[in-house]
Structure formats: C-alpha cells, structure tokens
C-alpha cells in the first residue's frame, strides 16, 4: 500500500466555465489555468501520481506545452490512471476537500463523486469529496479562488 497527497489552487476569472471534479457547475466565474482549471481533478491527479512515485502533473503536462492548452482535466486524470495502472497499481480510495465559499459543494457532491469515479474507472464507493468553507479567511474565504486537497491510497 502507498499513500499520496495532492494540493492545488486556481483563481476565479470572468468568462471561464467552472469545472469541479469534471462536472460543469453553473457559476458566474470559472477558474483560470493552462487547462480547464479543474482544481479538484488536479489535486487528485497529483495525489495519485505522488502515491506511485511518478512526479506530478506539471511534469507530465508542462504549462509550457501549448498543445495541451485548454485540455479537459478529465483527460489529465485519465492519463494519470493509465500511468499508475502501467506500474501495476490500482486505487484503494481517494478522499478530497474542496475549499471555497461558493459555489456550495454539498448539493453537487454525488454528481462530482460519480464523475470522478467514471473518469478513473473505479467504484464510486472508493471516491469521497467534501466541501469546506473558511469562514471568510484567506483567498478562498475572500472568494478569490478555490483550493483543493486530496489523499489517495493505492495498492
Ligand atoms: Mg492546477
């Protein structure tokens, strides 16, 4: 068994669509980034890569690579799953936290868990996602962006 940890943060930006866990969430602003800005899938991808000792998503998808500009993060996570399975690993479970004042995560939690499980090719019972607020503290609390943390166990 091996454990991995991932973290990511992206700023809100006008004129972008908001994706969390591969789910399009209706919101006035999206997240800025080289990809679609899906902060949750990036944290999960880094947790999985970390568990397998396979660097991080910046290594596999460098921001300097214009061919991956605007890439769907579901494709990043799909590629990460290919890499770890090639090493002979399978996912035991993922637990993740999305930190933001808005949008509220709880009403979309089931959709997000199912979308992540589908992208990873694992049972939804192995994926857990929690939403947290910071009572107005920090950039997430000031509604400037969203951050996400994830741990993953593989075996
Ligand atoms: Mg990112």
Global pTM reads: 0.97
Q: Ligand 1 centroid vs 56 CA: distance in angstroms?
A: 11
Residue 151 is predicted with a pLDDT of 99
What is the Cα–Cα distance from 138 to 9, expressed in whole angstroms? 12
Q: Ligand 1 centroid vs 36 CA: distance in angstroms?
A: 9
Residue 63 is predicted with a pLDDT of 86
Q: Ligand 1 centroid vs 37 CA: distance in angstroms?
A: 6
Residue 78 is predicted with a pLDDT of 98
pLDDT per position as a tens digit, 102-147:
999 999 999 999 999 999 999 999 999 999 999 999 999 999 999 9
Residue 155 is predicted with a pLDDT of 97
Q: Ligand 1 centroid vs 50 CA: distance in angstroms?
A: 15
The mean of the pLDDT values for the chain is 97
Report residue 49 as tokens: 């890569």
Q: Ligand 1 centroid vs 49 CA: distance in angstroms?
A: 14
Q: Assess whether pLDDT exceeds 90 at residue 58.
A: yes
Q: Ligand 1 centroid vs 71 CA: distance in angstroms?
A: 11
Q: pLDDT confidence of 77, banded at 50, 70, 90?
A: very high
SS3 at position 29: strand
Q: Ligand 1 centroid vs 34 CA: distance in angstroms?
A: 8
Q: What are phi and psi of 55, to 5 degrees?
A: 65, -135
Q: What are phi and psi of 11, to 5 degrees?
A: -80, 150
SS3 at position 78: helix
Judge whether 70 and 36 are in contact, CB under 8 Å: yes
pLDDT per position as a tens digit, 2-52:
999 999 999 999 999 999 999 999 999 999 999 999 999 999 999 999 999
The reply to whether omega before 103 is within 30° of 0 (cis) is yes
């Amino acid at each position: 068994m091996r454990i991995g940890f991932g973290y990511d943060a992206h700023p809100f930006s006008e004129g972008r669509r908001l994706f969390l866990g591969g789910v399009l969430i209706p919101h006035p602003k999206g997240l800025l980034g080289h990809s679609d800005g899906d902060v949750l899938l990036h944290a999960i991808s880094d947790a999985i890569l970390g568990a397998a000792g396979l660097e991080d998503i910046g290594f596999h998808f460098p921001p300097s690579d214009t061919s991956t500009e605007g890439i769907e993060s579901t494709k990043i996570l799909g590629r990460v799953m290919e890499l770890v399975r090639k090493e002979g690993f399978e996912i035991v479970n993922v637990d993740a936290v999305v930190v933001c004042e808005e949008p509220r995560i709880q009403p979309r939690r089931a959709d997000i868990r199912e979308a992540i499980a589908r992208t990873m090719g694992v049972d939804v019972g192995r994926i857990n996602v929690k939403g947290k607020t910071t009572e107005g503290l920090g950039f997430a609390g000031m509604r400037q962006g969203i951050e996400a943390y994830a741990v993953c166990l593989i075996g």
